[in-house]
Amino acid sequence: MSALSQYIEIFDSHRATIEAKSAEVMNLCRQDARNRLEGKRLPQKGTEGYEKTSIEDMFAPDFGVNINRVNIPVDVSLSFKCDVPNMSTIMAFVVNDSFVPSSTLHNKMPQGVIIDSLAKVATENPQLVSRYYNQLADNDNEAVALNTMLAQDGVMIYVPRGVVMERPIQLVNIFNSAAPLMGVRRLVIVVEEGAKAQLLICDHTQNSEYRYLSSQVIEAFVGQNASLDIYDIEESSDTTSRYSQLYARQERDSQLIVNGVTLTGGVTRNDYHIELVGDNCTSTLGGMAIGSGHQHIDNNSDVRHLSAHCNSNQLFKCVLDEESTGAFEGAIYVAPGAQFTEAYQSNRNLLASKSARMHTKPQLEIYNDDVKCSHGATTGQLDADALFYMRSRGIPEQEARTMLMQAFMVDVIDMVKMEGLRDRLRHLVEKRFYGQQASCADCGVTCRDPKKD
């Protein structure tokens, strides 16, 4: 039996329960998704592109699916640091794949802003959700169709026209279960014309005794002259696999920043699909990954310039140690009508051991002469001369190596606009390179329990 077959069988056997525990807007998309999966298989290594991670292998283990929406209690204070020093956020949680609001989530919320359960909003305001849900994600993609078929809840973030969110939104994803589990996560983000929002997503695993899989699909709509920042930090366990697909569409004069950070995890694959459909858009896509042990990290980007006078910049960096592996495949597409495009892509990688491996493939596809585009990739080891110089000044070898790896990541961290988060990332990266996972005691931050928030 293929990995896909086992989930189709679950859907066919429990469709009534799945639909009863969800919302009609989401249910209307299920049959089409199921039909698209008929006779298909999830992509395997070699069937998609250069060294892309096998989705078949990620989904093959017998993960459970919480179709009955059983409430699995989580002690948030034992898991992670929720706060970012010097930064006040509007916080919500996703426990496995169920939305859990903090008690203060809706306090002082700007008028018209929605941050809530996707199923709840779809029930109370179906016209709003149907306008955006499943409209941007590619359902010809088997993993997206699988997510659409099984998703029962998710998160809806809606910022209406002209509203500027003064505080960042923080969404904390937590895995905790007494058995292997797949979390079917769906996130819809809408930032309307002239609105501005910043979103911080944090991934954590509380009980690492079991295997978990995060199947995540994000649809982000950035309206005319709107601004959206998404910072996505993964600090999970080596028993957690994650497949995240982000689909974003930018209208005229909009700005988008997406920055994905993988600090700890098992097998990670992040796919980014960004369409610049209006003139004068600016898009910044960054990624930073640190691998050790047998960790595997795969980042793929597809930035499509479909209109004129737009600018995009991609920078992905990866440091791999021990037996860890990484992959990157990036594409820039410039349509015939997208004159005066400026698009840049860079992938730089550092191998800190002889056993680490990195595969990279940047690509350009340009159908216009009036453009400035470039791409490049480098993979190397620590600078031997710099290492020798530092050791000659009395710095121990391991500390010198760590300092050089930290310095390698600086420009990706500097892409973060939120000062408090930028400082926090510097701290987390430092702890990671020293072989530690930061705890609350390390930073003096008090964790918050959403039920006592």
**What does the pLDDT look like over 79-102, one tens digit per residue?**
445 556 567 889 999 999 999 988
Could you tell me if residue 143 is left (phi over 0), alpha (psi between -120 and 50 degrees) or otherwise beta? alpha
pLDDT at 137: 97
Measured in whole angstroms, the distance separating CA 15 from the mean position of its chain's CA atoms is 28
Tell me the percentage of the chain whose pLDDT exceeds 70: 92
E strand residue ranges, 166-238: 169-175, 181-191, 196-205, 212-222, 227-235
- C-alpha closest to that of 145 among 153, 137, 155, 136: 137
| Highest-scoring range by mean pLDDT, 234-248, 363-377, 439-453 | 234-248
pLDDT tens by residue, 320-366: 999 999 999 999 999 999 999 999 999 999 998 999 999 999 999 99
State pTM to two decimals. Answer: 0.92
Q: Which residues contact 208 (CB under 8 A, 6 or more apart)?
A: 237, 238, 239, 240
- Which pLDDT does position 22 carry in this prediction? 96
| Two tokens, residue 205 | 């695993």
